[in-house]
Amino acid sequence: MKQAIYDHFHPDEKAFVDRALEWIERSAQQHELKRTDFLDPRQAQIVTMLANRNQDVGIRLDGGYPEAERKRALIAPDYRSLEDEPIGVSVLSVSGPGQDRIDLDHGDFLGALLGLGIKRDRIGDIHVHDDFCHIVVMDEIADYLNIHLRQVHRLNVMTDVLPIEELRSVIPKLEEISLTVASMRLDGIASDVYRISRSKIVDPIRAGRCRVNWKSEEDPSGQLKEGDVVSFKGLGRFKVLEVDGMTKKGRIRVKVGKFI
């Protein structure tokens, strides 16, 4: 039975599928409410797919605001209403001394949190503004971070815990790039976006350092389509914004947005 389920997922996802199945079975059989850690969009998709196979459970995903990328899941017996259940997230507000620009990026804040021994799945979306940062975190760790986060990169910082209603979100900025490509192959488009030769982009793909829509992709010839989000460890990520027909020479016009 389980093997038939595994066939739908990448082998790297097996451990997570097992965890998700356990959450769902406990909700169905022992009538438990499960509030998960933060899930990336691929994990959220897996949990939703598995929950939808079981008519005895319901599921709700919530990251604290409508456009959230990382979300917690509530899984409960189907007779229980989930709409009024608290999702259990707060905002950790981080600022430098005074109101000056803090000149730190997403990676600086994430690195500081991980440096305190916090696991990535306990942290939601990170919103970096010019003079402060709002980080969505699980209620369970908010007070700990408020006490212990005192430095980000080399900057001394002050923190406060705010209700999620006070979150000031940031819409990700994209640097738009127009390309003409021979095909929609992953390696071809990625080499153009990152300005790396195709031969050099193939190695990280085959080494498992590339994800398409948060799912591991190890085939350089994999085909991309409009809406796909591609990420490379160490290189950043981009989104295929538009596939806009053919040139006279038979090449494909593609517009991508590189996250900056």
Q: How confident is the model at residue 100 (pLDDT cuts 50, 70, 90)?
A: low
Tens digit of each residue's pLDDT (9 = 90 or more) over 185-220:
999 999 999 999 999 999 999 999 999 999 889 999
Residue % of the chain over a pLDDT of 90: 85
Please say if the pLDDT value at position 99 is more than 80: no
Assigned token pair, 187: 């390696």
* pLDDT for 103 beyond 90: no
User: What's the topology of domain 89-166?
Assistant: Alpha-Beta Plaits (3.30.70)
- Three-state DSSP at 250 gives coil
Domain locations in the chain? 2-77, 89-166, 174-259
* pLDDT tens digits along 44-74: 999 999 999 999 999 999 999 999 999 999 9
> What does pLDDT average to over the chain?
94
Give pTM, 2 decimals: 0.84
Assigned fold of 2-77:
Ribosomal Protein S8; Chain: A, domain 1 (3.30.1370)
For residue 119, give the DSSP letter. Answer: -
Dump strand ranges (E) for 44-184: 57-62, 71-77, 89-95, 123-128, 132-138, 151-152, 155-156, 158-163, 174-181
Assess if CATH 3.40.109.10 describes domain 174-259.
no
